[in-house]
Amino acid sequence: MISWVQRNFQQHFRIIFGVVLVGTIVSFVATIGATSSISWGNKRTIEREFFGRNLGSSEDMNQIIHDAALSAQFMYGYSNMSDDQLKGYAFRRIAALHLADQLHIPDPTPDQLTRTIRGLRLFAGQDGRFDANRYNQFRNSLTGDSGTAGAAMVRVLTEDVRASQVGQVLSGPGYVLPGDIRRALETGDTFWTLAVASVDYASFHPSIAPTDADIQKYFAENPFRYEVPPRVVASYVGFSAADYLASVTVTDEELNSYFDANAEKFAPPADPKAKPTDRKPIADFKTARPQVELEVRLRDAQRLALDAASRFAVSLYDNKVAPGPALDAFLAEAKVKATPLAPFTREAGPAEFGGSPEISAAAFNLGPDRYFSEELTIPGGAAVILWKETLPTRKPSLIEVRPKVVADFLENERRIRFVQLGRTLRARIEAGLKSGLAFDEAAKQAAAGDVSVHTQTMAPFQLRSQPKDLDDSIRATLDGLEKGHVSEMIPGTDEGRLVYAVDKRVPNLTETNPDYAQNRAEIASYSAQLGTAAYLGEIVERELKRSEDAAK
């Protein structure tokens, strides 16, 4: 029988590996990131010795990272790590090889290397056994000629075998308490039968009558909610695509080409009574021609509007037009006008343009040194934004935002009371259960007059083979939940849930359980791996610090 630990470790291997890796490399990755003498893309050669490698050499660094990426594929079956994770793995790998040299660990024999290759899951077929075709495909996928690729594979695998032997020396037997084993067995192998009462938040309408003092206190305690973020004050010069329609000419060739590329959008709507097996209606160019021509003309008119806006912005730049009277005169001469925009934030762009994030981003890049934008697309045409000022963050008075403060207070108080109601419902349900009521009846009686509730009973399950739809919040309530008891309410956005343990069958937690020894071995192995990772992380950090100090 496969234990809960093994199943979960296999299913969540990438997550576990990432957590362990990040946990052990954060500090020394930060050290590298903060060091000015090394840049991963820097071509300069700076001496910074690290366990026999020069981190200041781009050639050395390229080799270190390339080997680590290849090793990760061999060891873990994938290499889609972030840059920081890969660098951290590379440093730990070099540290392990340094220890292998100090411990005089020899290279593996050809037989040992062959067994290692045949045992890598990267080369395993669907039956879990070594697949020579997968091995050859991987080898052929490597850059360089087959001889170079093969030599690189052998070198990296040889190093990996030596590094893994260092891990075995460092890890030791692993430290496991009997309580850890019992906890793993109980967590993974307990059979649960749960009933859940879902309390509808939308149906909860408590009577709340806040006083002025309540509102003032809430406003004073939550000023961050009502800060007005920076806003841009600007205007725009618009160029309507409609003004350029008369200048657009289209040919039959253009229309046919556009129709062919977008035929599906011009197909007539399907008959709602048609059968699924019926053929879909096919677009007809002759019928769709008016619509096709309109779309092509509008597209070309939009391009002309953008061109006009671009010429306008370039003219502002070429003539070095300053804001103020000079700009007003320039606009008058160009026979265009600047239309004011309502002040807008970075998150919510101009309301006049549908809150466009592109226009907002462009406007917030403007300022006194460059007060006009490049050409920008707006609904129905193009525009150039003219910046006037950026208003700083400010704290409004209560009078300005009172309606929002009142609404926030009422919602916050409603949430607080909903949680309080959950405690009341739990007590009522448990009382109903003790009186002999079924869970669903006890839940309905407990909620009567206060809120709507519905119940459901889940099929029995174990966490090691839990249902796919088991909510994490429900799973979290199981720790410490006993048979016949009801959990605290789990508050959510739309509902709160109370979990009732209809049945709880705990497995045999003694050494007579066939899974006891297997769980002990797996937990010991995992504990040992954590210790090895922590130790390697320590010596890597020390070596990075030493090499940094030496390079100064």
Mean pLDDT within 320-338: 95
Partner residues linked to 190 by β-bridges: none
Nearest by Cα to 422 from 505, 362, 491, 518: 491
Residue 168 scores a pLDDT above 70: yes
Model confidence at 26, in pLDDT bands (50, 70, 90)?
A: very low
> Residue 439's pLDDT is what?
96
Q: Please return the burial class of 459, using the count of CB atoms within 10 Å of its CB with bins 0-12, 13-18 and 19+.
A: exposed
Whole-number average pLDDT of the chain:
84
Q: Are 162 and 97 in contact (CB under 8 A)?
A: yes
Query: In angstroms, how far is CA 386 from the centroid of its own chain?
Result: 36
Say whether pLDDT at 362 is over 80: yes
H helices, E strands: number in the chain: 17, 11
What was the pLDDT predicted at 24? 39
* DSSP code of residue 465: G
368: closest CA among 350, 348, 390, 351?
Answer: 390
Residue 269: per-residue pLDDT: 72
Query: Would you state the pLDDT for residue 418?
Result: 96
CA distance 408 to 548: 52
pLDDT-derived band at 44, boundaries 50, 70, 90: very low
Strand locations in 174-314 (E): 191-200, 231-240
Residue 483 has pLDDT above 50, yes or no: yes
Cβ atoms within 10 Å of 201's Cβ, excluding its own: 18
Is residue 375 over pLDDT 90?
A: yes
What tokens does 239 get? 């160029």
pLDDT score recorded for residue 10: 40
CA distance 186 to 132: 42
Compute the 3-state secondary structure of the chain and give helix, strand, coil in percent, each to the nearest 5: 55, 10, 30
Buried b (16+ CB within 10 A) or exposed e, 248-260: beeeeeebeebbe
Long-range contact set of residues 144-153: C-beta below 8 Å, sequence gap at least 24: 152/70, 153/70
326: confidence class by pLDDT, cuts 50, 70, 90: very high
Least confident of 188-197, 247-256, 279-288, 462-471: 279-288
Please tell me the predicted confidence (pLDDT) of residue 455.
96
55 CB burial (10 A radius; 0-12, 13-18, 19+): buried
pLDDT score recorded for residue 133: 87
User: What sign has the CA pseudo-torsion 322, 324, 328, 329?
Assistant: negative
Q: So what's the pLDDT on residue 123? A: 84
Work out the average pLDDT over 542-546.
Answer: 89
- pLDDT tens digit string along 431-443? 999 999 999 999 9
Residues of the chain with CATH 3.10.50: 191-212+399-505
Residue 320 has pLDDT above 50, yes or no: yes
Q: By percentage, how much of the chain surpasses pLDDT 90?
A: 49
Q: What is the pLDDT of residues 383-399, one digit of tens each?
A: 999 999 999 999 999 99
Q: What CATH fold (topology level) applies to the domain 191-212+399-505?
A: Chitinase A; domain 3 (3.10.50)
Residue 60: both structure tokens together = 């050395």
Type of residue at 281: P
pLDDT tens across 497-542, in order? 999 999 999 998 888 888 888 888 877 777 777 778 888 888 899 9
What single string gives the DSSP state of each residue in 399-428?
HHHHHHHHHHHHHHHHHHHHHHHHHHHHHH
pLDDT tens, residue by residue, 46-78: 678 888 888 888 888 889 998 888 888 887 766
Instruction: Note the pLDDT of residue 172.
Output: 66
What is the average pLDDT across 183-203?
A: 92
| Tokens found for residue 505 | 């069958």
Q: What is the DSSP string of 497-543?
A: EEEEEEEEEPPP-STTSHHHHHHHHHHHHHHHHHHHHHHHHHHHHHH
